[in-house]
Amino acid sequence: MAHYNPPIRDMQFVLHEVLDVDTALGEMPAHGEVNRELIDQVLEEAGKFCSEVVFPLNRPADEQGCRHEGDGVVRAPDGFADAYRQYCEAGWPTLTCDPDFGGQGLPHVIGMAMQEMLNSASQAWTMYPGLSHGAYECLRAHGTDELRQLYLPKLVSGQWTGTMCLTEPHCGTDLGLLRTRAEPQDDGSYLVTGNKIFISAGEHDMAENIVHLVLARLPDAPSGTRGISLFVVPKFLPDANGNPGQRNGVVCARIEEKMGIHANATCVMNYDGATGWLVGEANRGLNAMFVMMNAARIGVGLQSLGLMEVAYQNAAAYARERLQMRSLSGPKAPDKPADPIIVHPDVRRMLLTQRAWIEGSRAFASWLALQADIADSHEDESVREQAEEMLALLTPVVKAFLTDNGFAATSMAMQVYGGHGFIREWGAEQYVRDARINMIYEGTNGIQALDLLGRKVMQDGGAKLRKFGALVRELVETEGTRDEMAEFIDPLADLAGKVEKFSMEIGMKAMQNPDEVGAASVDYLRVIGHLVLGYFWARMARVALDKKDSGDRFYEAKLAVARFYFARLMPETAALMRSARSGADNLMAMDAELF
């Protein structure tokens, strides 16, 4: 039977001992009253809700799935609506939202921890309220005062949920091809007509209204992405009192049959003269939607982090109990007919790999959430700008690196179970199925890699990357003289130096042949991911070394995993750089007809 124990201790370690968020938040007037006691209280209560209310629904909901009952009616699995009601009654949707619209105004770094635990409990359930926060952020940034006053309080409270409607049957990432159209009306509204696919939580029975943010074209719009506008299109049109009124012309035609996340209604949505209102400027809808898309990309990284954690917990428990063969170095459980499989080196390799990805990713994602808080709330403009640059640079990394590792890690967790992992009753196979989608949506990981290298690094000549490199150099200079830190600092410093040369080399080759960017980008993103995780693993190792004589075995484990990461996982970067340097010719030389 699967279980989930919220990793509160590790979250506290990252937030308080590594990142010192209490001090960082204290520099922001909006969060000056947030202290360790409050953070820990939120973590504990969030952990209880996730493990006690949401997690028990995960497997039965996956088996039951969603039901499309005709006429656009979709039923979520049993128990989902009641769990969502409890979620809203406890105030969880309001956690990080603006108090002006009914939010609690707590920092993003706390919300991130909540999101991780929710995704461990059930990624499919979490996706129903998950995009609502992105819709809230988008409307808060680009909506008119009238739209904000009408929609934001309902999104913040959780009364209404949100969606993001981009993809159409003939176009995925290339939104310049979209055909959905919007006809202006005399009253300032628009009639939206078209079809959207792959719309997560596009229809369900968990909230009283659903707010669709829809990309569409105006009649006189230019072609391509410069002719896309954004519209808010509710399922029910708000009446004079702001309550759900007449049903709008939007309906779920069917729900997709998917490999995973069976308990989330991924919908084909038909808009047939549905009434909507313009969000932001005409023909600049992508600019507005990117607020939501970037939040979603970070959220997808957290989905994989949550799945890695719960999959690891169950695989580790199984490995401690499952008896199979004897240790190569002699029996470790002589009183039993065989040793537990955790004594075998390859099982430990898989478990340590999962744990290294999880704990490094948690530190990375928490730091990135803190950058979001700084960008929103710090009084110093230069500090805000630095944080915004780090968010821009590393959002594609947190999305792609974490989700690539998430699929690999959940697959390793299943492998630890052996044949039992392939059987539904143990739960491991669901985590693999659910994790696979995270590499695809909100921009495939190949697109994230192109964005990182082509836009975030090359477009500004590597300026943002050098600013992150400065953080790495500061750590290297501070800790490099300490002998006990050499096993962590030396490989980090070596990689940082190689990344600078590697980036310049790709940039020079791309000037001669633009395909060099696409040929190198996936390997390049993975190298940057290791640079980032190496930086945070070195910081965690420093704290653990300071506490190694405390008697708390938590720090002993942290050092063991840090040593494993630097010795076993970071060396992957050598092969990645060699692969990227092989160039575009071996990819592009063969004629397309020969494939």
CA neighbours within 13 Å on the CB side: how many for 390?
A: 24
Is 442 annotated as catalytic? yes
Would you tell me how many other CB atoms lie within 10 Å of the CB of residue 484?
Answer: 14
Would you tell me how many other CB atoms lie within 10 Å of the CB of residue 173?
Answer: 14
Cα-based distances in Å from 485 to 18, 527, 536, 541: 16, 22, 13, 8
Task: Output the pLDDT for position 286.
Answer: 85
Token couple for 533: 């995780």
Task: Output the pLDDT for position 348.
Answer: 98
Burial (0-12, 13-18, 19+ Cβ within 10 Å), 17? middle
Q: Does residue 78 sit within a domain?
A: no
Q: Does residue 413 sit within a domain?
A: no
Q: What are phi and psi of 186, to 5 degrees?
A: -65, -25
Q: Does residue 514 sit within a domain?
A: yes
Would you tell me how many other CB atoms lie within 10 Å of the CB of residue 237?
Answer: 17
Q: 211-232 burial, b if ≥16 CB within 10 A, otherwise e?
A: bbbbbbbbeebeeebebbbbbb
Q: Does residue 543 sit within a domain?
A: yes
Of 203, 442, 479, 516, the active-site residue reads 442
Cα-based distances in Å from 462 to 56, 236, 501: 47, 47, 11
Cα 412 from Cα 354, distance rounded (Å): 8
Cα 473 from Cα 468, distance rounded (Å): 9
Q: Does residue 546 sit within a domain?
A: yes
SS (H, E, C) 477-530: HHHCCCHHHHHHHHHHHHHHHHHHHHHHHHHHHHHHCCHHHHHHHHHHHHHHHH
Q: 432-463 burial, b if ≥16 CB within 10 A, otherwise e?
A: bbbbbbbbebbbbbbbbbbbbbbebbbeeebe
Burial (0-12, 13-18, 19+ Cβ within 10 Å), 583? middle
The total of structural domains in the chain comes to 1
Whole-model pTM: value is 0.97
Identify how many contiguous H helices and E strands the chain contains and give both numbers: 19, 11
Cα 197 from Cα 329, distance rounded (Å): 55
Cα–Cα nearest to 308, from 417, 418, 428: 428
**DSSP line for 151-186:** HHHHHHHTSEEEEEE--BTTBSS-GGG---EEEE-T
Cα 305 from Cα 358, distance rounded (Å): 6
Cα 270 from Cα 198, distance rounded (Å): 12
* Consecutive H or E run containing 251: strand 250-255
Task: Output the pLDDT for position 291.
Answer: 75
Domain residues for 562? 444-587
Cα–Cα nearest to 198, from 258, 139, 138: 258
Give the three-state DSSP class for 344: coil
Q: Does residue 63 sit within a domain?
A: no
List of residues 6+ apart from 244 with CB closer than 8 A: 208, 209, 234, 235, 236, 237, 238
Cα 258 from Cα 27, distance rounded (Å): 46
Average pLDDT per 10 consecutive residues for the chain, totaling 595 residues: 95 98 95 96 98 98 96 95 98 97 97 98 96 92 96 98 92 80 98 96 97 96 91 97 97 97 97 97 87 83 98 98 95 96 98 98 97 95 96 97 98 98 96 98 94 96 97 97 97 98 96 96 98 98 96 97 98 98 96 96
**Rounded (5°) CA angle 577-582-584:** 120
Task: Output the pLDDT for position 346.
Answer: 98
Report the chain's terminal Cα–Cα distance, integer Å: 45
Q: Is 105 left (phi over 0), alpha (psi -120 to 50) or beta?
A: left
Give the three-state DSSP class for 129: helix
Instruction: Enumerate the β-bridge partners of residue 277.
Output: 232
Token couple for 183: 């006809």
